[in-house]
Amino acid sequence: MQNTIRIITRNSELALWQAHHVAQKITELYPTITTQIIGVTTEGDRFLDSSLDKIGGKGLFIKELENSLLKNEADIAVHSLKDLPANLCSSFSIAAVLEREDSADVLISNKYQNLEDMPNGTVIGTSSLRRSSIINRHYPKLQVKLLRGNIITRIKKLDNNEYDAIILASAGVKRLGLSQRIKQSLSKDIFIPSIGQGALAIEVLQSNYFMVELLSKLTHQKTFIEVSSEREVGRVLGASCSVPIGVHAIIQNHSLKLDAIILDKETGNCVSSTIIGEAKDYITLARACASKLVGNGALNILEKYK
């Protein structure tokens, strides 16, 4: 058995937390294995003046990590699953998906308790095309302003009064012990989460069969089914990380409910789909959900974001 597993990750506080969390899970399962965490600054971390959809999408956060795997500088890469494209390059594989945290978006503000009570022109910070499109559709009186950087940086910008409020993923806020900053958990019926939001993924070289088998025991089965169905919707549609799409699955009593939405930020139009069925049929349900979106006109919106 391999004695040390080298873990490559981004250098942000949240990414390092995630890497240490994975390292702890590996140690709990395999006490004789040690872990080494290697932090790097990615291209997505270096260019903070433009929105991600303008400079290459979330792939900017994973390119350096994947290169480290290819060069044998690391054995595994730890990601927020929402940062991984639905269609991974054939050289790579997701070896494990850990139990999901809260998948919701949350509002953080020093001035307001919720979105509904905000006056005209309130400045909301987000880097997400999905979130900004939802705000433009449901809260047109609010002003969306680009917000880049890691979670700590974003909250500092809020505290410096550069924004009236910001929207972040609940999972990252909670993982960093900042739950007290949350003013409102946003409804998943309106703010349908990003594909895979709240889940952690371990990426490896597909050819590293030993590591794939070793880490598979870390997978949380319920989370795996939920996020796999979400990713399948994105894969069928060919939706990149630059598309304002939300897909969220939840399993209750062996039944899977899958909600999806694609938005047109410019016009405010959107198409949505909800599918319910047996969880064991999660891939079939995902394809039915994607088909329903297409039938409702999703391709007309997707064409704008190619």
Please confirm, yes or no, whether 264 is among the known catalytic residues: no
List, in order, residues 6 or more apart from 162 with CB less than 8 Å away: 125
Q: Are residues 191 and 134 in contact, defined by beta-carbon separation less than 8 angstroms?
A: yes
Is 257 in a helix, a strand, or coil?
Answer: strand
The two counts, helices (H) then strands (E), for the chain are 11, 13
CA distance 33 to 52: 37
DSSP H or E segment with residue 46: helix 43-46
Distant-in-sequence contacts of 64-73, Cβ < 8 A, 24+ apart = 64/40, 65/8, 65/9, 65/10, 65/40, 65/203, 66/91, 66/92, 66/203, 68/8, 68/38, 68/40, 69/8, 69/203, 69/204, 69/205, 70/205, 73/6, 73/8, 73/38
CA distance 131 to 153: 19
Catalytic residue among 83, 102, 164, 264: 83
Q: Kindly list the catalytic residues.
A: 83
